[in-house]
Structures are given as structure tokens and as C-alpha cells.
Structure 1
Amino acid sequence: MKTKHRIVREYIQSKILDGTFSPNEKIGSESEFMERFQVSRHTVRLAIGDLVNQGWLYRKQGAGTYCAARSELGQMDKNHKNIALITTNISDYIFPSIIQGAESYLSKHGYNVSLFSTDNDHKHEKEVLEKILTHPIDGVIIEPTKSALSNPNIHYFLNLEKSDIPYVMINAYYDELEPFSITIDDVKGGFIQTEHLIMQGHQNILGFFKTDDLQGTRRMKGYIKAHRSHQLQINPSNIITYHTEEKSTKPVDMLEKILLRPGQTRPTAIVCYNDELALLLLDVLRKQKLKIPKDISLIGYDDSILSQVSEVKLTTIKHPQAVMGEVAARKILEVINDRVSIPPYKGRQDSITYEPELVIRNSTNTFETPRIEIQTV
């Protein structure tokens, strides 16, 4: 359990890191902190004293306490050769492969890797960034949290830049920062997914997309572009969007309702945001006694290990995974070793985008429109 003076100290640190307290600006009075946290003056003075000793704050006799100008914030102890690797998950799905690719390369070059997970939650991302900014870290490889939404933690990334801590973004990026990133062309990937089904004769195609991440919005864009390219009308109710917190419930509930449609209006194929979702929806289809791909085709994304663990082997889009991790590690070390320079606002120019590839297995098949026989009397 945190002590009261630690709670006050961490609050002040957080306000310095997110830019609320600017360099050489006076912070709140002792009385204000006493009232905010319902603590004694002694507790507040302990917290402020710690931060003064650590160089976060300085006192002016008779004027109060001020935020220090910390040009080397987070770099108090250089040459530890530490890289922070931050993903939205650590142990599941494609993330172990990405991490292994980065960690293997970095360890060969004498760097330690600190792993962090944000659980795709802005609050957790904030906590991780605060930890990084107060510890000796040479560089950061990060997968953005809910990259399609406005991010409340932008100040922390600006503080990384101010502290000369380079960062590389993987899988997605915060567009407003224009960082160097390593991604896959998700618009093209969504297009390829959908076009594959269209070319097999499917016209009534469901699309499930997680839209709090940039990957999901772009894959949905590809889904729409494929329909338009082939001059197919999209049924608006065939696009199902959801957020991270709903990923285990909303897609299942929606598919169960959609499968209640009359026979001729039922979808004949499903485009999935990723392989993880495809397996979740596969369980729904099994419960409805539907056979894949005879009754309905299903296509995933990422070519994860999940695409081959079921008796139904998923047609999917290949993701570079380990290669992406290794390339991110190589890039961050190039920056640290001054072999290249990537000013954040120019990083988009040199960013790496992988071309998506279709991997065809047995979860998709051709669809033939049922014949309507006209009987003559």
C-alpha cells in the first residue's frame, strides 16, 4: 500500500510529466496539496522535499516551490543500454512473436529489454510512460493504445522527444505526432480479404472491425473499397464495429442475431478483424450447425498461430510479426548510435509499410447463387 507522502509525490511527478507544471512555473501551495489529499503539512513537505532532492523541483526563499527545467528528464543514469518495449498485450496472439523478434536482436547487441503491456488502455499507457520517463531508458518501441482515438497521453510522447529518448511505433501510430512507424498496409489488407470473397462469388459479406485501433478502421476502409471497386452495394447492417472492451461479447451477440435472418438474406461470408475474432465467431457458427466453408466462408487477418489450431484452417492475411519486431529493434539502435536521425515530425517520410499477402486455406470457398427452377404447367 502506498504511503500518503508517496501518493502526493507521484501526483506532482505526473503533473510535471504531462505538462501541467511547466519548467520554472510555481506549483500549488502546501495548503492546496493538504486540502486535495487530506494530509498533514508534514506529509506534503516530505513529498516536496523528495522531489527537490531528486531535481524535479526547486524552492525560492519566500516565494514557494517551482518546477525545475529538466532537459535530461528520464536520462539521469545513461549508458545502461535499456530499451522499453510496450505493446497492448504481452502473452497472447501475435505479440510474443513481435517481442521475440525485437528482444533477440537487442540482446545480441548488449541491450536489456523491459517489457510493458498497456492492455490497450490509456490509463495503463500513462502509467507505463511515467515509469519510462523516470528511469534510465535509451529508446522505446511502442504499439500505440487505441490509436484510432484521440490520445490523452500525447504530452508524455512530447516529453520523450524533449528528453532525447527516441521512439518507434509498431502496428499503428499516433497521426498527430507523425512518428517513424513500422506497419502493414491495412487498407490493402482489408481490400484483399474482401476481394478474395467477392471473386469467389460472395455478395452478402459481413465485416467485423475493432475501430478504436487504427488497424480496424483501415481494414474497414479496405472492405468498403473492395465493394466499390466491384460495384457491389453494401448492406449498412453488414458492418459491425466494436471497441476493445466489447471484443468478447458484441461480435458474438451481433452474429447470433444476424444468423436469425431468413435464408436468402443471410450472409454467405464473413470478413474478420483478426484471427482471434475469427475463432470466436467460428464457435457461434458451430453452435448454429453451420459448416465452414460449405455454408459460410470465414476469413481472418494476421496469419497467427490461431489460424491453424482449429480443424478449420483459416484463410487469412499474413502479418510480418517477428520481422517487424526485429526491424523496429534495428531502427531504434541506429538512432541511438547516431547512424540515422528521425525527427518525429519527419518520421512519416521514412516509415516502413509492409505489403499484405493472402494465405489461402480451407475456410473460404466459392459461392454459387441457388438456382430458382421455374416449373411449367
Structure 2
Amino acid sequence: MSNYLNRPNSVAAATRERIRGAIDELGFVRNAGAALMRSGRARTIGLVVLDVANPFFTELARGAEEVAREHELLVILCNSDEDREKEERYLEVLEEQRVLGVLISAVDNGTSKIDWLRQRNTSVVLVESARANYCSVRADDIAGGELAAQHLISLGHRSLVFATASLTVRQYQERLAGVHRAMARHGLPPEALTVIEQGVKGNTSDGRLIGDRLLATGTLPGTGIVCGNDLVALGLTAVLLRAGVRIPHDVSVVGYDDIELAEQSALALTTIAQPKQNMGRTATQLLIEEAQNSKRHAHQQIVFQPELVVRESTGPAPAASPPTRARRTATASST
């Protein structure tokens, strides 16, 4: 019984079924308080994410929950809202609850609270970032940015825009670096790229504001736009389409993450896919392995490769600039 309750994967499947049947028949309920007193750790793990409203983290959490359920664990989801003080308070609360370990997409990869958890023998796995002596799971964002720009360049686009939330976020920095790398490989000068930053959270509101800024210039600075994520891309395309800019005939747009809305939007979005659920599953498996065998556990830094998903929002570069009249009308109506 003890192995079934505390290390279910160490028990044969047939034995697990017999024990589960007996538990159901007897109406047995595990005493979590007593288990905590014996082991020092609860049957829960913490998952701290930057923005629970972002579908990327919803899919990541789904993958984490799948593996946790296999190990009879529960996931406590915490939304830092990209606020370092809020993030640190969540980490304190999770430690107070004596969770088995913490998965975290950190506001600041150098936060001292992460080291503080480790000093208290709480396992930590980083998601979307990496540090020495920590397990981590992330995607190769430089390669992803390069894929996005390469796709546009292959379609004949020679003037690009990188539209993103704040470049203080590492992922956006690396995606921009990938765009630069693709441009350099194809002989495009740095001035062929316009970078527009707007907001912090990288949501559709930021995308709409970026769209308004692009229209206010009177002439779009590029025919191919790479966005920091899908939400920005969806907000931006909504503004451009309302303004009469034809996508992809006048301008092509590439998102990043491949959230569900990217495919289901009225104009299906070309994007860079990350294996979100697999990242969550892998991170949780690493966390459980470390928590159960911390002395012999070897830290791993897992890097997934992104993939280009081509849909309706990209096409050949236009022979001429987008219609000026539509842009001027949109600019006037948005003020």
C-alpha cells in the first residue's frame, strides 16, 4: 500500500488495479497530513507561469498535469502576472505547503528565490529559460526566429518588421536574433528590418497598438512581419484587416507559439510551433525524477526545436506597397 500511495510507478499495473479496487470498496481516503509528516513533502507540485491568460501556458500546464496525474500528484497553478514580487510570494507559499517541487517560467531568471528553494532542498525545473546546475526545458527561440524570417525571405520579402512586446524578455530577444541571422545569411542589411516594441505582456491589446503604430506611419515599413508571439500577431492582423490592408496580398504576418487560436482565427495564422504540452510533460518528469532521487539525479537542459506551420497569413511579396488610401482612412478613424 505504501509504495502504491507514494511511488505508484514502482508498482506493477495489475497490482495497482487491485489496490485501487480495494481502496474504492473500503472508501479509504489518504491522510495527507500524516503522509506529509512522514515524508516531509506533499503530493503536489507548483507550476508558476508568467500569464495564465496566454494559451501557451494553458497547453504547457495540460502537459504537466498529465504526467503529474500518472504519479498521483496534483498541480497547483500560480499566475505571477509577470510581477516579480508576486512570483516570489507564490514561491514562498509553495514552500510553506512543502510541495514536492516547482516548475517555473520565471519573470527574472536570476531571482534569488529560485536559489532559496534549492537551498531548502525543494526541486526546481526552469521552463523557457536555463541556468547552470538546474534542470530546464525550453525551445530554441533563435532557431524559431530564423525559421520565421527565412520563410518570409523565401517568399521574396526584402523589408521586414519584428513586432513584439518588451525586448527585456529573453524569448523575444532570441527570436529577434534569429531574424537578424536569417537576414544576414541572405545578404539583407540591418536597415531592412524595423523593430517595434509595445507593452509587456505580449497580448492582443499590444498587437492592436502595434497595428495602430504601423498604420500611423503612412507607409508600412515592411512587407513581411514577424511577431513575438501569436497573440500579438492576432491583434495586429485584426487592426490591419479593418484598415483595408490585405493579408497576405499586401503584407504577410508570421506569429509564434502555434496556439489554438492561430489556426481557428478568421485568417489562419502562419506561425512557429513549439511543443507546448511536450515541454510541460518533460519538465514535470524531470522534476519528479529529481525530487525522488536528488542525490543521484543529473541535471538536464532539454532544448526542443520549433517548426514552421504555414497557413493563410503569408504569401509572395507584393510588387508594390499596400494601398495608401486604406491606411490613411484607418489612421484617421483610430484617433
- TM bucket normalised to smaller: 0.7 to 0.9
**Residue of 143, 168, 176 corresponding to 1:220:** 176
- 1:84-119 Cα offsets, whole Å, 9 max, x none, are 111112343121211111112112211122111101
Note if contact 2:272-2:307 (Cα within 8 Å) is conserved in structure 1.
yes
Q: Please say if 1:329 is aligned against 2:284.
A: yes
Q: Distance in 2 between matches of 1:306 and 1:109?
A: 31
Distance 1:237-1:268 versus aligned 2 partners, 3 A rule:
closer
**Residue of 178, 190, 204 corresponding to 2:145:** 190
Deviation at 1:180, TM superposition (A): 1.7
Q: Secondary structure at the match of 1:240?
A: strand
Deviation at 1:171, TM superposition (A): 1.7
Note if contact 1:75-1:137 (Cα within 8 Å) is conserved in structure 2.
no
Distance 1:341-1:183 versus aligned 2 partners, 3 A rule:
farther
Match of 1:362 in 2: 312
- 1:274-332 Cα offsets, whole Å, 9 max, x none, are 11111100111022101110111000011101102222111111111111111111111
Aligned residues: 285
Q: Distance in 1 between matches of 2:254 and 2:245?
A: 15
AA aligned to 1:325 is G
Q: Secondary structure at the match of 1:365?
A: coil
Q: Please say if 1:201 is aligned against 2:152.
A: no
Stretch moving more, 192-201 or 239-248: 239-248
Match of 2:7 in 1: none
Q: TM-score, normalised by structure 1?
A: 0.69
Q: Distance in 2 between matches of 1:313 and 1:242?
A: 23
Deviation at 1:368, TM superposition (A): 4.5
AA aligned to 2:60 is I
Indicate the RMSD between aligned Cα atoms, in angstroms. 2.5
**Residue of 239, 264, 279 corresponding to 1:309:** 264
- Compare the two structures and name the one with the higher helix fraction: 2
Match of 1:90 in 2: 52
Match of 1:80 in 2: 42
Q: Secondary structure at the match of 1:140?
A: strand
Note if contact 2:204-2:231 (Cα within 8 Å) is conserved in structure 1.
no
Deviation at 1:259, TM superposition (A): 2.9
Note if contact 1:75-1:136 (Cα within 8 Å) is conserved in structure 2.
no
Note if contact 2:207-2:234 (Cα within 8 Å) is conserved in structure 1.
no
Q: Secondary structure at the match of 1:353?
A: strand
- List gaps (5 residues or longer) in structure 2: 1-35, 322-335
When Rg is computed on C-alpha atoms for both structures, the one with the higher figure is 1
AA aligned to 1:131 is V
Q: Secondary structure at the match of 2:181?
A: helix
Stretch moving more, 251-260 or 280-289: 251-260
Note if contact 1:75-1:163 (Cα within 8 Å) is conserved in structure 2.
no
Q: Secondary structure at the match of 1:215?
A: helix
User: How many percent identity over aligned positions?
Assistant: 26
Q: Distance in 1 between matches of 2:45 and 2:223?
A: 47
Note if contact 2:102-2:125 (Cα within 8 Å) is conserved in structure 1.
yes
Q: Please say if 1:289 is aligned against 2:281.
A: no
Q: Distance in 2 between matches of 1:75 and 1:366?
A: 64
Q: Distance in 2 between matches of 1:209 and 1:262?
A: 20
- List gaps (5 residues or longer) in structure 1: 1-73, 372-377
Deviation at 1:340, TM superposition (A): 7.2
Q: Distance in 1 between matches of 2:284 and 2:164?
A: 29
Match of 2:115 in 1: 158
Note if contact 1:77-1:136 (Cα within 8 Å) is conserved in structure 2.
no
Match of 2:84 in 1: 122
**Residue of 110, 120, 129 corresponding to 1:172:** 129
Note if contact 2:271-2:309 (Cα within 8 Å) is conserved in structure 1.
yes
Match of 1:99 in 2: 61
Q: Secondary structure at the match of 1:169?
A: strand
**Residue of 138, 141, 161 corresponding to 2:103:** 141
Note if contact 1:121-1:146 (Cα within 8 Å) is conserved in structure 2.
no
AA aligned to 1:358 is L
Stretch moving more, 238-247 or 118-127: 238-247
Q: Distance in 1 between matches of 2:295 and 2:172?
A: 32
- 1:149-207 Cα offsets, whole Å, 9 max, x none, are xx5x31x222211111110011224x4x6522100000000011011101100011110
Match of 1:230 in 2: 186
4+ residue runs of structure 1 moved beyond 3 angstroms? 74-77, 245-255, 260-263, 339-343, 368-371
